[in-house]
């Protein structure tokens, strides 16, 4: 039996380091409607041909196989997942896969207000919204497209739709937005959301995408936490239950309704306890963003006709 109580007819996926994988991140598209400075060049990139992207049926097949090995948590990602047409259809397909108990999505929030209710009704349980600034002018400089008002409207719509918890992800960039960490933390005082501070990771794919060489620096989460504590007082460490496992250390401001999370991939790597696999939009299964190796699931899947959505 798996950790979620469903039968697992295949052996669990365990790597050479003894890590058992129970979490699958599914990228459904390479397309994004923003051009964030730490992720993509301002002019964008050439999007992949449609035939190179997995169909919804193919994604479901991979998720079904993963669930049969004990994977019980799936997160839909991109690119920007809401940029793919009929994403609520895929959400419903994955929500009905036996053994998948936790279905979540990470989005930049630009289109969330118009999709939140349909996603919730389709079976999505949780949503993470990426937002690096609350300042409209700064948002324009960091994201290069879109409007912060749309993201905030998406957050509100997610809460109205019944997502619990709603998480807000902030990548802290030295000299760009690190002066806003207190303002982000303050969002949790009255609202039952989790604001998560994420250390900037200079991934190989992102080279040359910044505002300019040396435009922003690394800020450790220890520094961020100290800054927040100076403003609001000592943070309360929270016990993380079995259903809340993940890379974030979870804390709370005094008397706050929500929570703070700190993901310290650079200053305190959590590789030894990583339990996630990744399915790319083109069908490659990888264990790590920083590892070039992978399994070409698309080649295995496409022995016959290609039904597409």
- When pLDDT is cut at 50, 70 and 90, the band that residue 241 belongs to is low
**Around 194, how many Cα atoms within 13 Å sit in the side-chain half-sphere?**
19
Classify residue 1: in a domain, yes or no.
no
pLDDT at 5 exceeding the cut of 60: no
Domain count for the chain = 2
Task: Render pLDDT for 263-308 as a digit per residue (tens, 0 to 9).
Answer: 987 777 677 777 789 999 999 998 876 666 788 999 999 885 444 4
Classify residue 2: in a domain, yes or no.
no
Determine what percent of the chain is predicted with pLDDT higher than 70: 86
Q: Are residues 188 and 252 in the same domain?
A: yes
Determine what percent of the chain is predicted with pLDDT higher than 90: 67
Q: Are residues 121 and 205 in the same domain?
A: no
> What's the pLDDT at 82?
98
> What's the pLDDT at 9?
64
- When pLDDT is cut at 50, 70 and 90, the band that residue 20 belongs to is confident
Q: Are residues 279 and 238 in the same domain?
A: no
Please indicate, yes or no, whether the overall pTM of this predicted structure exceeds 0.75: yes
Classify residue 3: in a domain, yes or no.
no
Classify residue 222: in a domain, yes or no.
yes
Q: Are residues 236 and 294 in the same domain?
A: no
CATH number reported for the structural domain that contains residue 37 in this entry: 3.20.20.70
Average pLDDT, the chain: 87
Classify residue 284: in a domain, yes or no.
yes
pLDDT at 97 exceeding the cut of 90: yes
Classify residue 29: in a domain, yes or no.
yes
Q: Are residues 191 and 68 in the same domain?
A: no
Q: Are residues 45 and 175 in the same domain?
A: no
> What's the pLDDT at 21?
86
Q: Are residues 33 and 153 in the same domain?
A: yes
pLDDT at 40 exceeding the cut of 60: yes
> What's the pLDDT at 2?
39
Q: Are residues 129 and 250 in the same domain?
A: no
Q: Are residues 58 and 124 in the same domain?
A: yes
Task: Render pLDDT for 176-224 as a digit per residue (tens, 0 to 9).
Answer: 999 999 999 999 999 999 999 999 876 544 444 444 444 678 899 999 9
Q: Are residues 188 and 109 in the same domain?
A: no
Classify residue 11: in a domain, yes or no.
no
For 208, list phi and psi in degrees, rounded to 5.
80, 5
Q: Are residues 102 and 30 in the same domain?
A: yes
Task: Render pLDDT for 138-179 as a digit per residue (tens, 0 to 9).
Answer: 999 999 999 999 999 999 999 999 998 899 999 999 999 999
Give the domain range for residue 232.
Answer: 169-270
Classify residue 4: in a domain, yes or no.
no
Q: Are residues 70 and 95 in the same domain?
A: yes
């Amino acid at each position: 039996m798996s950790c979620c109580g469903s039968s697992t007819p295949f052996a669990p996926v365990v790597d050479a380091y003894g890590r058992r994988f129970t979490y699958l991140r599914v990228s459904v598209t390479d397309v994004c409607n923003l051009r964030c400075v730490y992720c993509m060049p301002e002019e964008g990139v050439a999007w992949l041909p449609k035939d190179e992207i997995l169909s919804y049926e193919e994604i479901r097949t991979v998720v079904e196989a993963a669930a049969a090995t004990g994977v019980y948590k799936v997160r839909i990602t991109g690119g920007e997942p809401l940029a793919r047409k009929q994403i609520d259809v895929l959400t419903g397909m994955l929500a009905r896969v036996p053994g998948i108990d936790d279905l979540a999505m990470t989005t930049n929030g630009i289109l969330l207000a118009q999709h939140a209710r349909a996603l919730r009704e389709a079976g999505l349980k949780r949503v993470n919204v990426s937002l690096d600034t609350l300042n409209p002018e700064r948002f324009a400089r960091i994201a290069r497209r879109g409007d912060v008002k749309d993201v905030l409207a998406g957050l509100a719509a997610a809460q109205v739709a019944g997502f619990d918890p709603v998480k807000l992800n902030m990548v802290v960039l030295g000299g760009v937005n690190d002066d806003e960490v207190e303002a982000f933390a303050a969002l949790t005082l009255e609202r039952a959301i989790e604001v998560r501070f994420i250390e900037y990771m200079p991934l190989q794919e992102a080279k040359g995408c910044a505002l300019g060489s040396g435009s922003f620096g690394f800020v450790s989460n220890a520094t961020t936490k100290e800054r927040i504590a100076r403003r609001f007082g000592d943070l309360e460490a929270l016990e993380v239950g079995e259903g809340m496992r993940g890379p974030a250390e979870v804390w709370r401001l005094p008397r706050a309704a929500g929570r703070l999370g700190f993901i310290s991939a650079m200053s305190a790597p959590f590789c030894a306890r990583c339990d996630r696999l990744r399915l790319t939009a083109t069908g490659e299964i990888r264990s790590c963003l920083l590892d070039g190796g992978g399994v070409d699931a698309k080649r295995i899947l496409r022995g016959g006709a290609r039904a597409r959505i």
